[in-house]
Amino acid sequence: MNTQTDVQKQKEYIEKIKKLNQGKNLKYNIFTMGCQLNENDSEKLSGMLEQMGYSKIEDIKQADLALFNTCCVRENAEDKLFGKLGELKKVKEEKGSIIAIGGCMMQEKHITDKIKESYSFVDVIFGTHTLYRFPEDLYKALIENKKQEDIIDIEGKIYEDIPIKRDSKIKASVTIMNGCNNFCTYCIVPYVRGRERSRNPKDIIKEVKELAESGYKEITLLGQNVNSYLRVEREKNIEFEKYKGIDSFAKLLKEITKIEGIERIRFVSPHPKDFTDDVIEAISSSPKICKLIHLPLQSGSSKVLKEMNRKYTKEQYLELVEKMKKQIPNLTLSTDIIVGFPGETEEDFEDTLDVVRKVNFEQVYMFIYSRRVGTPADKMENQIPEEIKHKRFDRLKELVESGIEKNNQKYINTIQKILVEGESKTSKEMLTGRTDSNKVVIFEGDKNLIGKIIEVKIISEHMWYLKGEVSKT
Ligand code: SAH
Ligand code: SF4
Ligand code: F3S
Protein backbone atom coordinates (compact mmCIF):
# COMPACT_ATOMS: atom_id res chain seq x y z
CA MET A 1 0.00 0.00 0.00
CA ASN A 2 1.30 3.47 -0.72
CA THR A 3 1.16 6.22 1.87
CA GLN A 4 -1.74 7.96 0.11
CA THR A 5 -3.92 4.86 0.44
CA ASP A 6 -2.77 4.48 4.06
CA VAL A 7 -3.93 8.00 4.92
CA GLN A 8 -7.20 7.47 2.99
CA LYS A 9 -7.92 4.37 5.06
CA GLN A 10 -7.44 6.39 8.24
CA LYS A 11 -10.01 8.92 7.04
CA GLU A 12 -12.53 6.06 7.00
CA TYR A 13 -11.71 5.32 10.66
CA ILE A 14 -12.17 9.01 11.46
CA GLU A 15 -15.68 8.79 9.97
CA LYS A 16 -16.46 5.63 11.94
CA ILE A 17 -15.45 7.26 15.23
CA LYS A 18 -17.43 10.38 14.32
CA LYS A 19 -20.54 8.19 14.03
CA LEU A 20 -19.82 6.53 17.37
CA ASN A 21 -19.36 9.92 19.02
CA GLN A 22 -22.44 11.58 17.52
CA GLY A 23 -24.40 13.66 20.01
CA LYS A 24 -22.02 12.90 22.87
CA ASN A 25 -20.18 16.24 22.99
CA LEU A 26 -16.87 14.58 23.87
CA LYS A 27 -13.78 16.49 24.94
CA TYR A 28 -10.06 15.88 24.52
CA ASN A 29 -6.98 17.24 26.18
CA ILE A 30 -3.57 17.07 24.56
CA PHE A 31 -0.29 17.50 26.44
CA THR A 32 2.77 18.05 24.29
CA MET A 33 6.39 17.76 25.35
CA GLY A 34 9.51 18.41 23.34
CA CYS A 35 10.39 20.32 20.22
CA GLN A 36 8.45 22.21 17.57
CA LEU A 37 8.28 19.05 15.44
CA ASN A 38 6.33 17.41 18.22
CA GLU A 39 4.08 20.45 18.50
CA ASN A 40 3.40 20.21 14.79
CA ASP A 41 2.59 16.50 15.23
CA SER A 42 0.18 17.44 18.02
CA GLU A 43 -1.57 19.84 15.66
CA LYS A 44 -2.09 16.84 13.36
CA LEU A 45 -3.43 14.70 16.21
CA SER A 46 -5.78 17.56 17.14
CA GLY A 47 -6.86 17.77 13.50
CA MET A 48 -7.80 14.09 13.50
CA LEU A 49 -9.60 14.31 16.86
CA GLU A 50 -11.64 17.36 15.89
CA GLN A 51 -12.78 15.59 12.73
CA MET A 52 -13.87 12.68 14.94
CA GLY A 53 -16.14 15.08 16.84
CA TYR A 54 -13.99 15.74 19.90
CA SER A 55 -13.45 19.31 21.05
CA LYS A 56 -10.44 20.60 22.94
CA ILE A 57 -10.41 21.51 26.65
CA GLU A 58 -7.64 22.68 28.94
CA ASP A 59 -8.65 20.77 32.08
CA ILE A 60 -7.37 17.23 31.78
CA LYS A 61 -9.70 16.06 34.57
CA GLN A 62 -12.73 16.84 32.37
CA ALA A 63 -11.36 15.06 29.30
CA ASP A 64 -13.04 12.03 27.78
CA LEU A 65 -9.77 11.44 25.98
CA ALA A 66 -6.37 12.43 27.36
CA LEU A 67 -3.51 12.32 24.89
CA PHE A 68 0.21 12.70 25.60
CA ASN A 69 2.71 13.44 22.88
CA THR A 70 6.05 12.60 24.43
CA CYS A 71 9.71 13.59 24.06
CA CYS A 72 12.73 11.65 25.31
CA VAL A 73 15.62 13.94 24.44
CA ARG A 74 16.43 14.41 28.15
CA GLU A 75 15.58 12.47 31.27
CA ASN A 76 13.32 15.10 32.87
CA ALA A 77 10.71 14.39 30.16
CA GLU A 78 10.35 10.86 31.54
CA ASP A 79 9.79 12.12 35.07
CA LYS A 80 7.14 14.48 33.75
CA LEU A 81 5.23 11.73 31.91
CA PHE A 82 5.24 9.32 34.83
CA GLY A 83 4.22 12.10 37.21
CA LYS A 84 1.25 12.97 34.96
CA LEU A 85 0.29 9.32 34.57
CA GLY A 86 0.11 8.91 38.33
CA GLU A 87 -2.33 11.84 38.42
CA LEU A 88 -4.36 10.45 35.56
CA LYS A 89 -4.97 7.09 37.16
CA LYS A 90 -7.61 8.70 39.41
CA VAL A 91 -9.26 10.45 36.47
CA LYS A 92 -9.42 7.16 34.62
CA GLU A 93 -11.06 5.48 37.61
CA GLU A 94 -13.60 8.25 38.17
CA LYS A 95 -14.49 9.21 34.62
CA GLY A 96 -13.41 6.20 32.55
CA SER A 97 -11.49 8.47 30.15
CA ILE A 98 -9.48 7.00 27.29
CA ILE A 99 -5.74 7.50 27.83
CA ALA A 100 -3.42 7.54 24.81
CA ILE A 101 0.34 8.11 24.64
CA GLY A 102 2.33 8.74 21.49
CA GLY A 103 5.58 10.32 20.34
CA CYS A 104 9.30 9.78 20.66
CA MET A 105 9.41 8.17 24.09
CA MET A 106 7.15 5.37 22.89
CA GLN A 107 9.91 4.25 20.51
CA GLU A 108 11.92 3.20 23.58
CA LYS A 109 11.21 -0.35 24.67
CA HIS A 110 12.20 0.12 28.31
CA ILE A 111 9.56 2.87 28.54
CA THR A 112 6.69 0.96 26.91
CA ASP A 113 7.56 -2.05 29.10
CA LYS A 114 7.30 0.15 32.18
CA ILE A 115 3.95 1.56 31.05
CA LYS A 116 2.51 -1.89 30.41
CA GLU A 117 3.76 -3.13 33.75
CA SER A 118 3.01 -0.23 36.08
CA TYR A 119 0.41 1.86 34.25
CA SER A 120 -1.76 -0.81 32.68
CA PHE A 121 -4.76 1.56 32.53
CA VAL A 122 -3.26 3.24 29.43
CA ASP A 123 -5.48 2.38 26.44
CA VAL A 124 -3.43 3.30 23.36
CA ILE A 125 0.32 3.49 22.81
CA PHE A 126 1.66 4.61 19.43
CA GLY A 127 5.06 5.72 18.13
CA THR A 128 6.49 8.31 15.77
CA HIS A 129 6.09 6.14 12.66
CA THR A 130 2.45 5.26 13.40
CA LEU A 131 1.06 8.71 14.23
CA TYR A 132 -0.95 8.72 10.99
CA ARG A 133 -2.60 5.47 12.19
CA PHE A 134 -3.95 6.95 15.42
CA PRO A 135 -7.60 6.87 14.20
CA GLU A 136 -7.44 3.12 13.58
CA ASP A 137 -5.78 2.44 16.94
CA LEU A 138 -8.32 4.58 18.78
CA TYR A 139 -11.25 2.96 16.95
CA LYS A 140 -10.04 -0.50 17.93
CA ALA A 141 -9.58 0.59 21.54
CA LEU A 142 -13.12 2.00 21.61
CA ILE A 143 -14.86 -0.90 19.84
CA GLU A 144 -12.91 -3.88 21.12
CA ASN A 145 -12.33 -2.40 24.56
CA LYS A 146 -8.79 -3.79 24.33
CA LYS A 147 -5.42 -2.12 24.86
CA GLN A 148 -3.70 -1.10 21.64
CA GLU A 149 0.05 -1.00 21.13
CA ASP A 150 1.12 0.20 17.69
CA ILE A 151 4.84 0.82 17.51
CA ILE A 152 7.15 -0.02 14.64
CA ASP A 153 10.86 0.51 14.17
CA ILE A 154 11.49 1.48 10.56
CA GLU A 155 13.48 4.05 8.64
CA GLY A 156 10.26 6.02 8.16
CA LYS A 157 7.96 7.33 5.44
CA ILE A 158 6.34 10.62 4.57
CA TYR A 159 2.57 10.92 4.99
CA GLU A 160 0.74 13.80 3.31
CA ASP A 161 -2.78 15.13 3.86
CA ILE A 162 -3.15 14.25 7.52
CA PRO A 163 -5.84 16.57 8.97
CA ILE A 164 -4.45 19.48 10.98
CA LYS A 165 -5.82 21.93 13.53
CA ARG A 166 -3.28 24.71 14.03
CA ASP A 167 -2.75 26.49 17.33
CA SER A 168 -2.41 29.95 15.78
CA LYS A 169 -4.09 31.82 12.93
CA ILE A 170 -1.07 34.06 12.39
CA LYS A 171 2.00 31.86 12.42
CA ALA A 172 2.32 28.24 11.36
CA SER A 173 4.90 25.47 11.38
CA VAL A 174 5.59 23.43 8.27
CA THR A 175 7.62 20.24 8.68
CA ILE A 176 9.86 19.87 5.61
CA MET A 177 11.78 16.76 6.63
CA ASN A 178 11.71 14.00 9.20
CA GLY A 179 14.36 11.97 10.97
CA CYS A 180 18.09 12.50 11.36
CA ASN A 181 21.23 10.81 10.01
CA ASN A 182 23.77 12.70 12.08
CA PHE A 183 24.00 10.48 15.14
CA CYS A 184 25.51 13.03 17.49
CA THR A 185 26.76 10.69 20.21
CA TYR A 186 24.60 12.16 23.02
CA CYS A 187 21.35 12.25 21.06
CA ILE A 188 18.42 9.81 21.03
CA VAL A 189 16.54 11.50 18.16
CA PRO A 190 17.95 9.40 15.26
CA TYR A 191 16.88 6.23 17.08
CA VAL A 192 13.31 7.35 17.74
CA ARG A 193 12.58 9.39 14.62
CA GLY A 194 14.26 7.20 11.99
CA ARG A 195 16.32 8.20 8.96
CA GLU A 196 16.35 11.55 7.25
CA ARG A 197 13.64 11.90 4.60
CA SER A 198 12.37 15.04 2.91
CA ARG A 199 8.89 15.95 1.77
CA ASN A 200 8.38 16.66 -1.91
CA PRO A 201 8.96 20.37 -2.72
CA LYS A 202 5.57 20.48 -4.42
CA ASP A 203 3.71 19.42 -1.26
CA ILE A 204 5.58 21.96 0.88
CA ILE A 205 4.91 24.84 -1.54
CA LYS A 206 1.24 23.82 -1.73
CA GLU A 207 0.95 23.84 2.07
CA VAL A 208 2.62 27.26 2.39
CA LYS A 209 0.41 28.72 -0.38
CA GLU A 210 -2.70 27.45 1.41
CA LEU A 211 -1.46 29.01 4.65
CA ALA A 212 -0.90 32.32 2.87
CA GLU A 213 -4.41 32.16 1.39
CA SER A 214 -5.86 31.56 4.88
CA GLY A 215 -4.14 34.72 6.14
CA TYR A 216 -1.03 33.34 7.85
CA LYS A 217 1.83 35.85 7.98
CA GLU A 218 4.73 33.83 9.37
CA ILE A 219 5.89 30.29 8.74
CA THR A 220 8.62 28.24 10.40
CA LEU A 221 10.15 25.43 8.38
CA LEU A 222 10.90 22.46 10.62
CA GLY A 223 13.29 19.53 10.57
CA GLN A 224 16.07 18.00 12.68
CA ASN A 225 18.57 19.23 10.11
CA VAL A 226 16.73 21.55 7.73
CA ASN A 227 19.72 22.56 5.67
CA SER A 228 20.28 18.99 4.55
CA TYR A 229 16.83 19.08 2.93
CA LEU A 230 16.77 16.59 -0.03
CA ARG A 231 20.44 15.77 0.48
CA VAL A 232 19.90 12.02 0.95
CA GLU A 233 17.66 11.99 -2.11
CA ARG A 234 20.34 13.80 -4.16
CA GLU A 235 23.22 11.65 -2.94
CA LYS A 236 21.48 8.30 -3.23
CA ASN A 237 19.57 9.16 -6.39
CA ILE A 238 16.26 8.56 -4.66
CA GLU A 239 13.47 9.79 -6.88
CA PHE A 240 11.39 12.75 -5.77
CA GLU A 241 8.79 14.75 -7.65
CA LYS A 242 10.64 17.56 -9.45
CA TYR A 243 9.11 20.97 -8.90
CA LYS A 244 10.45 24.30 -10.15
CA GLY A 245 14.02 22.97 -10.02
CA ILE A 246 14.00 22.72 -6.20
CA ASP A 247 16.61 20.22 -5.05
CA SER A 248 18.16 21.91 -2.01
CA PHE A 249 17.25 23.90 1.09
CA ALA A 250 18.48 27.17 -0.43
CA LYS A 251 16.26 26.70 -3.49
CA LEU A 252 13.28 25.77 -1.33
CA LEU A 253 13.79 28.94 0.73
CA LYS A 254 13.98 31.09 -2.41
CA GLU A 255 10.78 29.61 -3.82
CA ILE A 256 8.93 30.17 -0.55
CA THR A 257 9.96 33.84 -0.47
CA LYS A 258 7.97 34.27 -3.70
CA ILE A 259 4.68 33.28 -2.04
CA GLU A 260 2.56 36.37 -1.61
CA GLY A 261 1.07 36.97 1.83
CA ILE A 262 3.81 35.21 3.80
CA GLU A 263 5.83 38.03 5.29
CA ARG A 264 8.18 36.19 7.63
CA ILE A 265 10.05 32.95 7.16
CA ARG A 266 11.97 31.17 9.91
CA PHE A 267 13.58 27.73 10.07
CA VAL A 268 14.86 25.35 12.79
CA SER A 269 17.26 23.64 13.18
CA PRO A 270 20.06 24.03 10.69
CA HIS A 271 23.34 22.19 11.35
CA PRO A 272 26.53 24.28 11.19
CA LYS A 273 28.29 21.64 9.06
CA ASP A 274 25.65 22.04 6.32
CA PHE A 275 25.42 25.84 6.37
CA THR A 276 26.45 26.30 2.75
CA ASP A 277 27.02 29.61 0.93
CA ASP A 278 23.84 29.29 -1.11
CA VAL A 279 21.80 29.23 2.14
CA ILE A 280 23.61 32.35 3.40
CA GLU A 281 22.92 34.03 0.06
CA ALA A 282 19.23 33.09 0.17
CA ILE A 283 18.89 34.57 3.67
CA SER A 284 20.66 37.83 2.83
CA SER A 285 18.77 38.35 -0.41
CA SER A 286 15.24 38.21 1.00
CA PRO A 287 13.79 40.66 3.51
CA LYS A 288 11.14 38.03 4.29
CA ILE A 289 13.65 35.60 5.82
CA CYS A 290 14.13 36.55 9.47
CA LYS A 291 17.67 37.47 10.37
CA LEU A 292 17.63 35.53 13.64
CA ILE A 293 19.37 32.28 12.81
CA HIS A 294 19.46 29.37 15.24
CA LEU A 295 22.92 27.83 14.98
CA PRO A 296 23.35 25.00 17.52
CA LEU A 297 26.85 25.07 19.01
CA GLN A 298 26.55 22.26 21.64
CA SER A 299 30.13 22.81 22.85
CA GLY A 300 32.93 25.32 22.25
CA SER A 301 35.66 22.73 22.64
CA SER A 302 36.97 21.11 19.44
CA LYS A 303 37.86 18.00 21.44
CA VAL A 304 34.34 17.65 22.87
CA LEU A 305 32.78 18.45 19.48
CA LYS A 306 34.74 15.56 18.00
CA GLU A 307 33.55 13.22 20.76
CA MET A 308 30.02 14.48 20.11
CA ASN A 309 30.41 13.65 16.38
CA ARG A 310 29.36 17.19 15.43
CA LYS A 311 31.76 17.37 12.46
CA TYR A 312 33.01 20.93 13.02
CA THR A 313 35.63 22.52 15.26
CA LYS A 314 35.46 25.61 17.47
CA GLU A 315 37.39 27.53 14.81
CA GLN A 316 35.12 26.39 11.96
CA TYR A 317 32.05 27.45 13.96
CA LEU A 318 33.53 30.88 14.65
CA GLU A 319 34.58 31.29 11.00
CA LEU A 320 31.05 30.45 9.89
CA VAL A 321 29.65 33.03 12.30
CA GLU A 322 32.06 35.67 10.98
CA LYS A 323 31.12 34.89 7.38
CA MET A 324 27.43 35.08 8.19
CA LYS A 325 27.83 38.35 10.09
CA LYS A 326 29.61 39.86 7.08
CA GLN A 327 27.09 38.71 4.51
CA ILE A 328 23.80 39.05 6.40
CA PRO A 329 23.06 42.60 7.59
CA ASN A 330 21.30 42.75 11.00
CA LEU A 331 22.08 39.09 11.70
CA THR A 332 21.28 37.84 15.21
CA LEU A 333 22.08 34.34 16.45
CA SER A 334 20.61 31.88 18.91
CA THR A 335 22.06 28.53 19.93
CA ASP A 336 21.82 25.27 21.92
CA ILE A 337 24.57 24.33 24.38
CA ILE A 338 25.09 21.13 26.38
CA VAL A 339 27.21 21.28 29.53
CA GLY A 340 28.81 18.28 31.21
CA PHE A 341 29.26 16.00 28.20
CA PRO A 342 31.43 12.97 29.21
CA GLY A 343 35.10 13.95 29.47
CA GLU A 344 34.41 17.72 29.45
CA THR A 345 37.30 19.32 31.37
CA GLU A 346 37.38 22.77 32.93
CA GLU A 347 39.42 23.87 29.90
CA ASP A 348 36.80 22.49 27.49
CA PHE A 349 34.07 24.31 29.39
CA GLU A 350 36.10 27.53 29.23
CA ASP A 351 36.13 27.11 25.43
CA THR A 352 32.32 27.06 25.48
CA LEU A 353 32.25 30.24 27.57
CA ASP A 354 34.76 31.77 25.14
CA VAL A 355 32.49 31.15 22.14
CA VAL A 356 29.52 32.59 24.05
CA ARG A 357 31.53 35.75 24.76
CA LYS A 358 32.74 36.06 21.17
CA VAL A 359 29.46 35.44 19.33
CA ASN A 360 27.14 37.48 21.53
CA PHE A 361 24.06 35.27 21.11
CA GLU A 362 20.58 36.76 21.18
CA GLN A 363 19.30 33.64 22.97
CA VAL A 364 20.96 30.49 24.34
CA TYR A 365 19.06 27.28 25.13
CA MET A 366 21.18 25.58 27.79
CA PHE A 367 21.01 21.92 28.72
CA ILE A 368 22.71 19.72 31.28
CA TYR A 369 23.97 16.57 29.56
CA SER A 370 21.51 13.75 30.14
CA ARG A 371 22.46 10.08 29.59
CA ARG A 372 20.25 8.42 27.01
CA VAL A 373 20.03 4.62 26.84
CA GLY A 374 21.33 3.28 23.52
CA THR A 375 23.50 6.28 22.59
CA PRO A 376 27.33 6.02 22.36
CA ALA A 377 27.90 8.80 24.94
CA ASP A 378 25.93 6.82 27.54
CA LYS A 379 28.60 4.12 27.34
CA MET A 380 31.52 6.54 27.73
CA GLU A 381 33.35 5.96 31.00
CA ASN A 382 34.30 9.51 31.89
CA GLN A 383 30.83 10.76 32.90
CA ILE A 384 30.86 14.08 34.75
CA PRO A 385 29.53 14.16 38.34
CA GLU A 386 26.12 15.85 38.71
CA GLU A 387 27.49 18.50 41.03
CA ILE A 388 30.11 19.69 38.50
CA LYS A 389 27.54 19.68 35.70
CA HIS A 390 25.21 21.88 37.75
CA LYS A 391 27.97 24.28 38.74
CA ARG A 392 29.05 24.69 35.12
CA PHE A 393 25.44 25.16 34.07
CA ASP A 394 25.02 27.97 36.61
CA ARG A 395 28.22 29.67 35.40
CA LEU A 396 27.08 29.48 31.80
CA LYS A 397 23.63 30.77 32.75
CA GLU A 398 25.14 33.75 34.51
CA LEU A 399 27.28 34.64 31.49
CA VAL A 400 24.35 34.20 29.09
CA GLU A 401 21.99 36.33 31.18
CA SER A 402 24.46 39.17 31.57
CA GLY A 403 24.99 39.02 27.78
CA ILE A 404 21.23 39.19 27.15
CA GLU A 405 20.84 42.14 29.51
CA LYS A 406 23.59 44.03 27.70
CA ASN A 407 22.25 43.03 24.33
CA ASN A 408 18.74 44.21 25.20
CA GLN A 409 20.08 47.76 25.57
CA LYS A 410 20.63 47.99 21.83
CA TYR A 411 16.85 47.89 21.31
CA ILE A 412 16.05 50.91 23.50
CA ASN A 413 14.67 53.82 21.43
CA THR A 414 14.81 51.83 18.20
CA ILE A 415 11.82 51.27 15.94
CA GLN A 416 11.14 47.55 15.48
CA LYS A 417 8.82 45.78 13.06
CA ILE A 418 6.53 43.61 15.16
CA LEU A 419 4.18 40.84 14.03
CA VAL A 420 1.29 41.27 16.46
CA GLU A 421 0.28 37.86 17.80
CA GLY A 422 -2.52 38.65 20.25
CA GLU A 423 -3.37 39.83 23.72
CA SER A 424 -0.60 39.58 26.30
CA LYS A 425 -1.06 36.61 28.63
CA THR A 426 -0.38 38.70 31.70
CA SER A 427 -2.56 41.71 30.86
CA LYS A 428 -5.56 41.84 28.55
CA GLU A 429 -4.99 45.56 28.02
CA MET A 430 -1.69 44.88 26.30
CA LEU A 431 -0.78 43.28 22.99
CA THR A 432 2.14 40.99 22.36
CA GLY A 433 4.22 40.36 19.29
CA ARG A 434 7.74 39.55 18.15
CA THR A 435 10.59 41.29 16.45
CA ASP A 436 12.42 39.82 13.47
CA SER A 437 14.96 38.62 16.07
CA ASN A 438 12.13 36.78 17.87
CA LYS A 439 12.13 39.03 20.96
CA VAL A 440 8.78 39.31 22.69
CA VAL A 441 7.49 42.91 22.74
CA ILE A 442 4.54 44.04 24.86
CA PHE A 443 2.68 47.27 24.12
CA GLU A 444 -0.70 48.98 24.31
CA GLY A 445 -2.74 48.89 21.13
CA ASP A 446 -6.04 48.27 19.42
CA LYS A 447 -7.09 44.62 18.96
CA ASN A 448 -7.47 45.14 15.22
CA LEU A 449 -3.67 45.26 14.99
CA ILE A 450 -3.56 41.50 15.72
CA GLY A 451 -2.12 39.65 12.72
CA LYS A 452 -0.45 42.76 11.28
CA ILE A 453 3.17 43.81 11.07
CA ILE A 454 3.49 47.22 12.69
CA GLU A 455 6.23 49.57 13.85
CA VAL A 456 6.80 49.82 17.58
CA LYS A 457 9.25 52.04 19.47
CA ILE A 458 11.05 50.14 22.24
CA ILE A 459 10.99 52.02 25.54
CA SER A 460 12.31 49.53 28.12
CA GLU A 461 13.86 46.08 28.49
CA HIS A 462 13.02 43.36 31.03
CA MET A 463 15.41 40.47 30.35
CA TRP A 464 12.94 38.14 28.58
CA TYR A 465 10.75 40.78 26.94
CA LEU A 466 10.77 44.39 25.78
CA LYS A 467 8.14 47.09 26.28
CA GLY A 468 7.20 49.40 23.48
CA GLU A 469 4.71 51.91 22.11
CA VAL A 470 3.08 51.87 18.72
CA SER A 471 4.77 54.39 16.44
CA LYS A 472 3.14 53.60 13.09
CA THR A 473 0.51 51.09 11.92
N1 SAH B 1 18.42 18.63 15.58
C2 SAH B 1 18.63 19.73 16.38
C3 SAH B 1 18.19 19.63 17.82
C4 SAH B 1 17.62 18.41 18.40
S5 SAH B 1 17.38 18.23 20.09
C6 SAH B 1 20.08 20.09 16.31
O7 SAH B 1 20.91 19.32 15.91
O8 SAH B 1 20.38 21.18 16.69
C9 SAH B 1 17.45 19.84 20.78
C10 SAH B 1 18.63 20.07 21.66
O11 SAH B 1 18.60 19.23 22.79
C12 SAH B 1 19.97 19.79 21.03
O13 SAH B 1 20.41 20.81 20.22
C14 SAH B 1 20.86 19.59 22.23
O15 SAH B 1 21.42 20.81 22.65
C16 SAH B 1 19.91 19.08 23.29
N17 SAH B 1 20.16 17.67 23.59
C18 SAH B 1 20.05 16.62 22.76
N19 SAH B 1 20.39 15.48 23.40
C20 SAH B 1 20.72 15.82 24.67
C21 SAH B 1 21.17 15.10 25.82
N22 SAH B 1 21.35 13.80 25.78
N23 SAH B 1 21.40 15.80 26.95
C24 SAH B 1 21.22 17.13 27.00
N25 SAH B 1 20.80 17.86 25.96
C26 SAH B 1 20.56 17.23 24.79
FE1 SF4 C 1 20.28 14.94 17.51
FE2 SF4 C 1 22.46 15.72 16.27
FE3 SF4 C 1 20.39 14.86 14.85
FE4 SF4 C 1 20.26 17.19 16.11
S5 SF4 C 1 21.64 16.68 14.44
S6 SF4 C 1 18.71 15.58 16.08
S7 SF4 C 1 21.42 16.83 17.95
S8 SF4 C 1 21.62 13.64 16.24
FE1 F3S D 1 12.02 15.38 21.80
FE2 F3S D 1 11.37 13.88 19.78
FE3 F3S D 1 11.66 16.46 19.43
S4 F3S D 1 12.82 13.34 21.35
S5 F3S D 1 13.17 17.01 20.95
S6 F3S D 1 10.14 15.50 20.67
S7 F3S D 1 12.15 14.88 17.97
DSSP codes of every residue in 138-183: HHHHHHH---EEE----S-----------S-SSEEEEE-EE-----
Q: Of the residues 175, 182, 225, 228, which should be mutated to test ligand 2's pocket, given the most ligand atoms within 8 Å of the CB? A: 182
Q: How confident is the model at residue 425 (pLDDT cuts 50, 70, 90)?
A: confident
Q: How confident is the model at residue 28 (pLDDT cuts 50, 70, 90)?
A: very high
As a whole number of angstroms, the distance between CA 389 and CA 367 comes to 10
Q: How confident is the model at residue 460 (pLDDT cuts 50, 70, 90)?
A: very high
Nearest to 293, CA basis, from 362, 219, 218, 229: 362
Q: How confident is the model at residue 143 (pLDDT cuts 50, 70, 90)?
A: very high
Q: Which residue has the least CA distance to atom 1 on ligand 3?
A: 71
pLDDT at 248 exceeding the cut of 80: yes
CA of 347 to the centre of ligand 3 (A): 30
CA-CA-CA-CA torsion sign (355, 357, 358, 361): positive
When pLDDT is averaged across residues 86-103 and rounded to a whole number, the result is 91
Q: Are 165 and 50 in contact (CB under 8 A)?
A: yes
When pLDDT is averaged across residues 274-297 and rounded to a whole number, the result is 98
Pick the ligand that lies closest to the CA of residue 35. 3
Q: Which pLDDT value is given to residue 1? A: 62
CA of 38 to the centre of ligand 3 (A): 6
Lining ligand 2 with CB less than 6 A are 180, 182-184, 187, 189-190, 224-225, 271
As a whole number of angstroms, the distance between CA 374 and CA 304 comes to 19
When pLDDT is averaged across residues 69-82 and rounded to a whole number, the result is 93
Helix (H, G, I), strand (E, B) or coil at 409: helix
When pLDDT is averaged across residues 224-247 and rounded to a whole number, the result is 92
As a whole number of angstroms, the distance between CA 157 and CA 13 comes to 20
Q: Which residue has the least CA distance to atom 7 on ligand 3?
A: 189
Which atom belonging to ligand 3 lies closest to the Cα atom of 193? 7
Q: Which pLDDT value is given to residue 90? A: 86
Q: Which residue has the least CA distance to atom 5 on ligand 1?
A: 73
- pTM reported for the whole predicted model: 0.97
Q: How confident is the model at residue 225 (pLDDT cuts 50, 70, 90)?
A: very high
CA of 430 to the centre of ligand 3 (A): 33
pLDDT at 471 exceeding the cut of 90: no
Nearest to 197, CA basis, from 162, 252, 150, 240: 240
CA of 184 to the centre of ligand 1 (A): 9
Q: How confident is the model at residue 2 (pLDDT cuts 50, 70, 90)?
A: confident
Q: How confident is the model at residue 67 (pLDDT cuts 50, 70, 90)?
A: very high
CA of 410 to the centre of ligand 3 (A): 34
pLDDT at 422 exceeding the cut of 80: yes
- In single-letter form, the type of residue at position 397 comes to K
Q: Does residue 71 have its Cβ closer than 6 Å to ligand 3?
A: yes
Q: What phi and psi values does residue 186 have, to the nearest 5 degrees?
A: -90, -10
Which atom belonging to ligand 3 lies closest to the Cα atom of 73? 4
Q: Which residue has the higher pLDDT, 463 or 312?
A: 312
Q: Which pLDDT value is given to residue 473? A: 55
Q: Are 365 and 324 in contact (CB under 8 A)?
A: no
Pick the ligand that lies closest to the CA of residue 37. 3
Q: What is the CA radius of gyration of the chain?
A: 23
Percent of the chain with pLDDT over 70: 99
Q: How many CB atoms lie within 10 A of CB 100?
A: 24
Lining ligand 1 with CB less than 6 A are 73-74, 186-187, 189, 224-225, 269, 271, 296, 298, 336, 338, 367, 369-370, 372
When pLDDT is averaged across residues 350-373 and rounded to a whole number, the result is 97
CA of 21 to the centre of ligand 3 (A): 32
pLDDT at 238 exceeding the cut of 90: no
Percent of the chain with pLDDT over 90: 92
Q: Which pLDDT value is given to residue 428? A: 83
- Work out whether strand 440-444 and strand 264-268 pair parallel, antiparallel, or are unpaired: unpaired
Domains in the chain (CATH in brackets) are 3-150 (3.40.50.12160), 171-409 (3.80.30.20), 415-470 (2.40.50.140)
Nearest to 192, CA basis, from 162, 165, 224: 224
When pLDDT is averaged across residues 438-444 and rounded to a whole number, the result is 96
Pick the ligand that lies closest to the CA of residue 383. 1
pLDDT at 472 exceeding the cut of 70: no
pLDDT at 265 exceeding the cut of 70: yes
Q: How confident is the model at residue 94 (pLDDT cuts 50, 70, 90)?
A: confident
CA of 84 to the centre of ligand 1 (A): 24
Q: Which residue has the higher pLDDT, 427 or 98?
A: 98
